[in-house]
Amino acid sequence: MLNEERADMGFAALKELRAKSPAWRLLAAEHGPLAAAFFYEVFLQKRTRALPEEKLLDALTSFLYETGAAGNTAELARQAGSLLLSWSDEQHRWLRRFYGPDNEVLYDLTSDAQKAVEWLAGLHHRPFIGTESRLRTVFSLLHEVERETDRDPQHRMDWLRRQKDAIEREMAAIEASGRVEPALSAVQVKERFLQAVQTSEGLLADFREVEENFRLLEHRLMTDVMTWKQGKGDLLEEIFAQRDVIRQSEQGQSFEAFWRFLMTGFKQEDFRATLAHLEEVPELCSLLKEHPLGEMMQDWLRAAAAVEQTVGALDKQIRRFVDEHTLQEERYIYELIGRIEQRAAKLPEVPNGPFTAIDGMAPSISLPMDRRMFVLPKRTRLRDQDLIEGVADGPVTALLRERPIDRRRLQAQIDGMLEQQETVTLGEVIRSHPLEQGLGELLAYLVIASRREGSEVREDEWQDILYCRDGRDVAARCETIVFHRKRPDGRHHHAARKGEHA
């Protein structure tokens, strides 16, 4: 195993890996940070698998908006749809696009993309690195290998006696003192808990890779079925041999042992009881909020079930292949595709313009008798009833932030400008005192003009009032309004001029 890893880290192997690996392609992509951040937030952080296309599209649209991408909601939705298709194509292979049981389009993260994102997550500085628990894990695993491979009866008896003596000493100490001394410090408890969380998350990544291996076998099966020219027995023998290779491989045997262990009833009950006890440990109160363990068992079951479903799909394809009628149909389809490719290859050059066209993917059928008949609209009837105190369903902070428009302040702004000049237009007032409350404040100015003595509305002149709303400049066009200063005799200037002219 070590020699194989050293061979994979050679110059030629790494150069080929850079050209073919989707994980490396994600790290080197220009929009790699965007994709990695989105994958971590949606799939890894929430331990999500097989998201529907509509839900993932909404999540990506919101993510693009939060990251400051340019465009309105419709443009961001189109951009999100294009990104999902691009990330799931053969060039990238960061997402797997497939159909669910109800022919619903689903997306899932590939194992290569998960490896890249987890590698990026490991680059950050870790405030706490547990070493003592890992060292004990190494010693424990090596001792277990040594103990379980030793066939000497005397060695086994000596180990059992040591275990018995240690148990008896601990029991005697508890009976003498009446209490249990903690064997782990607070730091050791935290260290072992974080190592367990990291190992459980690593299991989810391993499941994706196991699932992809079975899917690759299924893909090879379909390719062999389409191109096989010999007898069915020879192909079935090869298919079962490949399936047995994966089942009997180290990875396959380990997964089978994991599945049997996880599906054992008393093991599940023991795991749930352990989690319930850990929730009462004081040293883990803060860690359990960041790393909840309640859904860990369900996450393992969903991930392992996805692997079993892939194996079931492989068995289904084998059963379909055994059916002679299905095999003939698939070969006929393959022959039609081959004829199309041969005729396309004989074309001297690709013609300009559209190569082929189709009226529609499905017929458009209109059934008049399926239309709803006309129904008279129901009249709304109002009835008197006593008002009762209600309860707000959502936050009311937005209503509390609304400020009433102070007309006295607006009057004071107009009077202040009239102290410096005889007449002033509404546009000049707003330029000196910009609108703070938008269109409502402008309407308040119009109400003041309709009630204020000495105000003049010039119906043949128009003016544009500029103000800012939601960060954008907005223009409102209205008739020109002029405010006049009062003269010492109590008359306004425009009224005095009218009287003198008369």
Q: Confidence class of residue 71 from pLDDT cuts 50, 70 and 90?
A: confident
Q: Evaluate whether 307 touches 210 at the Cβ level (below 8 Å).
A: yes
Q: Confidence class of residue 95 from pLDDT cuts 50, 70 and 90?
A: very high
What CA–CA distance (Å, rounded) separates 91 from 107? 16
pLDDT value, residue 2: 40
Q: Evaluate whether 262 touches 300 at the Cβ level (below 8 Å).
A: yes
Lowest mean pLDDT: which of 145-154, 193-202, 229-238, 374-383? Answer: 229-238
Backbone region of residue 40 per phi and psi (left: phi > 0; alpha: psi in -120 to 50; beta: other values): alpha
Query: Between 189 and 400, where is the model more confident?
Result: 189
pLDDT value, residue 305: 72
Beta strands in 85-126 (DSSP E): 95-99, 105-109
3-state percent helix, strand, coil for the chain, nearest multiple of 5? 60, 10, 30
Provide the token pair at 261: 């262990």
Please report the DSSP string for 267-278 in residue order.
Answer: HHHHHHHHHHHH
pLDDT value, residue 37: 92
Quick one: angle between helices 296-322 and 250-262, nearest 10? 120
Lowest mean pLDDT: which of 107-116, 182-191, 420-429? Answer: 182-191
Query: Between 340 and 249, where is the model more confident?
Result: 340
Q: What is the pLDDT of residues 170-214, one digit of tens each?
A: 888 888 888 877 777 777 777 777 777 777 777 776 777 777 777
**Percentage above 90 pLDDT, the chain:** 4
DSSP element (H, E) containing 12: helix 11-20
Q: Confidence class of residue 1 from pLDDT cuts 50, 70 and 90?
A: very low
What CA–CA distance (Å, rounded) separates 96 from 107? 5
Alpha-carbon torsion angle 319, 320, 323, 325, nearest 10: 180
What is the residue type of 207?
F
pLDDT value, residue 169: 85
Q: Evaluate whether 110 touches 22 at the Cβ level (below 8 Å).
A: yes
Q: What is the pLDDT of residues 8-50, one digit of tens each?
A: 778 888 888 888 888 899 988 888 899 999 999 998 888 788 8
Q: Determine the length of the chain.
A: 502
Mean of all residue pLDDT scores within the chain: 76
Residue 357 has pLDDT above 50, yes or no: yes
pLDDT value, residue 500: 39
pLDDT value, residue 56: 92
Q: What is the pLDDT of residues 116-135, one digit of tens each?
A: 888 888 787 666 666 666 67
Beta strands in 319-364 (DSSP E): none
Beta strands in 116-224 (DSSP E): none
**Percentage above 70 pLDDT, the chain:** 74
pLDDT value, residue 359: 73
pLDDT value, residue 499: 41
pLDDT value, residue 243: 59
pLDDT value, residue 38: 92
Q: Give strand pairing partners of 329.
A: none
Q: What is the pLDDT of residues 273-316, one digit of tens each?
A: 777 777 777 777 777 777 666 667 777 777 777 777 766 666 66
Alpha-carbon torsion angle 308, 309, 313, 319, nearest 10: 60
Query: Between 204 and 463, where is the model more confident?
Result: 463
Reference 497, options 394, 487, 361; nearest CA is 487
The residue written with tokens 């609209």 in the block is 377
Reference 127, options 187, 42, 45, 46; nearest CA is 187
Q: Confidence class of residue 466 from pLDDT cuts 50, 70 and 90?
A: confident
The reported pTM is 0.48
What CA–CA distance (Å, rounded) separates 17 from 228? 31
Question: What average pLDDT does this structure show over 122-151?
Answer: 71
What is the residue type of 125?
H
pLDDT value, residue 496: 45
pLDDT value, residue 273: 79
Provide the token pair at 385: 């009833």
In whole angstroms, what separates CA 156 from the centre of its chain? 52
